[in-house]
A and B are shown apart, each in its own frame.
Chain A
Amino acid sequence: MKLTIERAALLKSLTHVQSVVERRNTIPILSNVLIEADGASLSLTATDMDLTVIDKIAAEVSQPGATTAPAHTLYDIVRKLPEGAQVEIEAGGDDARLKLQAGRSVFTLATLPREDFPATSGDDLPQSFTLQAGELKTLIDRTRFAISTEETRYYLNGIFLHAAQSNSLPVLRAVATDGHRLARVEMPLPDAAKDMPGVIVPRKTVSELRRLVEGVDDPVELALSETKIRFAFGPTVLTSKLIDGTFPDYERVIPAGNDKVLEVDCKSFAEAVDRVSTISSEKSRAVKMAVNNGALTLSANSPENGTAVEELEIDYDGAGIEIGFNSRYLLDIAQQIEGEAAQFTMADPASPTIVREVADSSALYVLMPMRV
């Protein structure tokens, strides 16, 4: 194998794949990136056995071939090469080493045979449809913060993506919950997705995917079966196993009878929560909301730090209520609300509260209160 490629293009591609590779690996081959040169392109593949990312870039290939080399080392080398450098990669000699040359820098790296690299099965993925990159970003951003890390309820360790009905319209929904908060966001269901099975996309896949689609405007092709999902956009393909479990019936935890409706200006609310929470102890992060006619009082206190109180003017004529929340959870949600106004729908200080954007009904959040 022998090829020449511009440093920036190689770095971009390595950046795409290398973060899949775990820093510590018991299986040596999984520390490596698969490098394949063919025709006029170079293809890089990294996998952790559950998640595989392939990235293709144009390169000047003078001799096709394939090998594998340590991903993080290769990435670190290319990162440190001077801008604009032409990188020459050569492998396949007798010594099973990869030679990388740029200007006066020469590196030789230990390789492992291409045959040892786990093959990504060309599984049959019967369902496929297309989303705009922006839509996919929204589905992820508005739910990922609620993904659980609990090991017992492993089926909560991802985003549940499925087709559903909302006001008798078919929608594609993303849901995540850790038992303390729940995030549900939906968008019109692409026709081609109407028979898709409900799938749980693992946390690591979500974060790799989100990283990869940053700055991408192309449409994203999704293909999936009950056990695997593939996202393809531009030269990049991410294939991942799905979480093998049943997502709980989340609809029943979304309360229907909450009657105390409070509207706040989202920006000033978030700023006030942020300010007040400076005082709430890192241990509890609790912020109390006291709602009365015309005023919302946010307060926090900690035995070590002191107290904080801030009043916000509001439009509210229901019965008074005092309710506590984890300030970080409030801020997580506020961050995802783009419009001016957010609406809290509460029942009592011990029952789940619904938060949503007034102008946009596509996202809904449920928040469990705290004792304060």
Chain B
Amino acid sequence: MPDRAIPGRAIPGLCRDCLETYPEPPTKEARPRRCPACDSPRLVWHPDLDRLSLAHIDCDAFYASVEKRDRPELRDKPVIVGGGQRGVVSAACYVARMYGVHSAMPMFKALKACPDAVVIRPDMAKYAEVGRTIRERMLELTPLVEPLSIDEAFLDLSGTEALHHGWPARSLARLVRDIERELDLTASVGLSYNKFFAKIASDLDKPRGFAVLGFDAATSFLANQPVGIIWGVGKSLRASLAREGITLVRHLLPYSEAELVGHYGRIGQRLYHFARGQDDRGVNPRSPAKSISSETTFNRDISAAEPLLERLWPLCETVARRLKKAGLAGASVQLKLKTADFRQISRSRRLGAPTQLAEELYRTAQPLLEQETDGRSFRLIGIGAADLVAAERADLPDLLDPERTKRAQVERAIDQVRAKLGDQAILKGRGLHLHKGAPSKGTQRGNS
């Protein structure tokens, strides 16, 4: 770990508007509230400000902000981006958030909380385009940009001081200032010495924030945070930790790594190291998609296997289409279900060989689904291909299962017809019923 801040050492500062930097406060006694150069109140002071170089940048209410930018009449209205009557909130603007709306909230709840909200169907193509523009700007600062989604990324600016004539903190402040000025979108910066703290920091001062967690953050900040702040600690792990009396990060400290691993499995390692602020993950610019998935929320809960399978098939086709387009294949298949009372169930199965075929995804997921249909009602089903590899070795002929080879040939033939005549030109029998009525509504698709 890098050396800690030296007590009594000068505290450097930075103005986020004029980018003026102060190696130490102009007067010894107090840091000014406003920038002596431009009179802006947006000053950051931190003992490690001149030395930290790992950042997490997260756009504020990204989808909603893009919509508001493009439709100025919505500027002061609560805006929710999301789909369908049973869909979920993809993004809520800060006005809507004041009513308690947050992303991933079911739409009906969101509308109950904020009946006046303007609901906008997501326009993923538009957001992706804006996201790309922002990413290009990040790449002008450093090649070490690791996107986490279309609107957030880790940046490692170590060693860029000479190139950019200033501290990484200053380069970051300029980046978000320029994004704001030129793209009319705001973003929040979290600056620290590793990914774990950078990600936490970007959330501390949202929106339009700039938060710094220094080299002493493990003791000065983290220890008294709830364990849920540790990435990967979800509801169920939090509950089992709570049973041991572990609710705050510092409660983890007395345990050895072996004890935590013994109790909680692999995540125990993460608990041990993250609780000490140790995170040696590098910023990996080519962190490719880990899975490709598609899911749908039903208008009415479904409990029987057959109608669930009917919904599953078009999702398999969607995932397969995207795998084929990306030249990828999945070596395992993940089935996701959400029960009527919002419990999420994930089941996965490793394949003998990677596949990009809808048919194999479906056949792998089918028995997994049938095991779960025990009378419970489900509100959502999803399918994903994970452990992605390049498609070259996907769906090779199988010695033991000549049918598999034939099915692959059939699907490739269908793909060729569709490429020429459009997706509706040819359907498998399994997909036919969907075209008797209207196509299913409320489909949510996303990369994960």
Contact = CB atoms under 8 A, between A and B. Distances in A.
Interface of A: 24-26, 28, 31, 148-153, 156, 177-182, 248, 250, 253, 281, 283-286, 326, 350, 352, 366, 368-370
Contacts of B266: 24
Interface string B343-365: 00000011111000000000010
Contacts of A31: 262
Interface of B: 261-262, 265-266, 349-353, 364, 367, 389-390, 392-393, 396-401
Given A179-B398, A253-B399, A149 B389 contact: no
A212 B353 CA distance: 30
* Secondary structure dominating the interface of A: loop
A156 B352 contact: yes
Contact of A281 (B261, B392, B401): B392
Nearest to B398: A179
Given A151-B349, A284-B393, 8 more contacts: A150-B350, A151-B351, A153-B352, A156-B400, A179-B352, A179-B400, A248-B400, A284-B392
Nearest to A178: B352
A24 B392 contact: no
A180 B396 contact: yes
17 contacts: A24-B262, A24-B266, A28-B262, A148-B352, A150-B351, A150-B352, A151-B349, A151-B351, A177-B399, A177-B400, A178-B352, A180-B399, A253-B399, A284-B390, A284-B392, A352-B399, A370-B396
Contacts of A284: 390, 392-393
A368 B397 contact: yes
B396 A149 contact: no
A26 B397 CA distance: 39
A23 B372 CA distance: 30
A368 B401 CA distance: 12
B399 A182 contact: yes
A196 to B, nearest CB: 24
Nearest to B397: A368
A59 to B, nearest CB: 28
The winner among A153, A180, A182, A369 for most chain B CB atoms within 10 A is A180
A152 B352 contact: yes
What 7 pairs across the A-B complex have the smallest Cβ distances?
A150-B352, A284-B392, A283-B390, A179-B398, A253-B399, A283-B392, A151-B350
B397 A350 contact: yes
B398 A180 contact: yes
Contacts of B396: 180, 368, 370
A285 B351 CA distance: 19
A25 B266 CA distance: 10
Contact of B352 (A149, A286, A350): A149
B316 to A, nearest CB: 15
A24 B262 CA distance: 6
A86 B140 CA distance: 64
Nearest to B265: A24
Nearest to A72: B258
Contacts of B393: 283-285, 326, 370
Contacts of A370: 393, 396
Contacts of A182: 399
B409 to A, nearest CB: 11
B399 A26 contact: no
Most chain A Cβ neighbours within 10 Å, of B349, B350, B397: B397
Contacts, number: 69
A153 B400 CA distance: 11
A26 B240 CA distance: 14
A149 B332 CA distance: 11
B265 A26 contact: yes
Contacts of B262: 24-25, 28, 31
A179 B399 contact: yes
Nearest to A249: B400
A202 to B, nearest CB: 15
Contacts of B401: 179
Nearest to B399: A253
Given A28-B262, A179-B353, A281-B392, A152 B399 contact: no
A149 B350 contact: yes
Contacts of B352: 148-150, 152-153, 156, 178-179
B147 to A, nearest CB: 23
Contacts of B265: 24, 26
B400 A253 contact: yes
Contacts of B353: 150, 178-180
Nearest to B261: A24
Nearest to A284: B392
A148 B400 CA distance: 12
A107 to B, nearest CB: 15
Nearest to A367: B399
A182 B397 CA distance: 13
**B353, B392, B396 — which one has the most chain A CB atoms within 10 A of its CB?**
B392
B212 to A, nearest CB: 36
Q: Which of A25, A152, A285, A286 has the most CB of B within 10 A?
A: A152
A335 to B, nearest CB: 20
Contacts of B392: 281, 283-284, 286
Nearest to A371: B396
A156 B396 CA distance: 17
Given A281-B392, A285-B393, A366 B351 contact: no
A149 B350 CA distance: 8
A253 B400 CA distance: 7
A24 B263 CA distance: 9
A253 B352 CA distance: 18
A43 B97 CA distance: 65
A372 to B, nearest CB: 10
- Greatest chain B CB density within 10 A among A25, A28, A286, A368 is at A368
Contacts of A283: 389-390, 392-393
B349 A366 contact: no
Nearest to B360: A152
A28 B390 CA distance: 40
Nearest to B364: A152
A21 B262 CA distance: 13
B390 A366 contact: no
Contacts of B261: 24
Contacts of A281: 390, 392
B246 to A, nearest CB: 18
Given A284-B392, A326-B393, A368 B399 contact: yes
A85 B265 CA distance: 35
Contacts of A25: 262
A115 to B, nearest CB: 21
A222 to B, nearest CB: 27
A348 to B, nearest CB: 12
B236 to A, nearest CB: 14
Contacts of A179: 352-353, 398-401
A281 B353 CA distance: 17
Nearest to A247: B400
A183 to B, nearest CB: 12
A26 B264 CA distance: 8
Contacts of A181: 399
Contacts of B400: 153, 156, 177, 179, 248, 250, 253
Contacts of A152: 349, 351-352, 364, 367
Contacts of A180: 353, 396, 398-399
Contacts of B398: 179-180, 368
Contacts of A150: 350-353
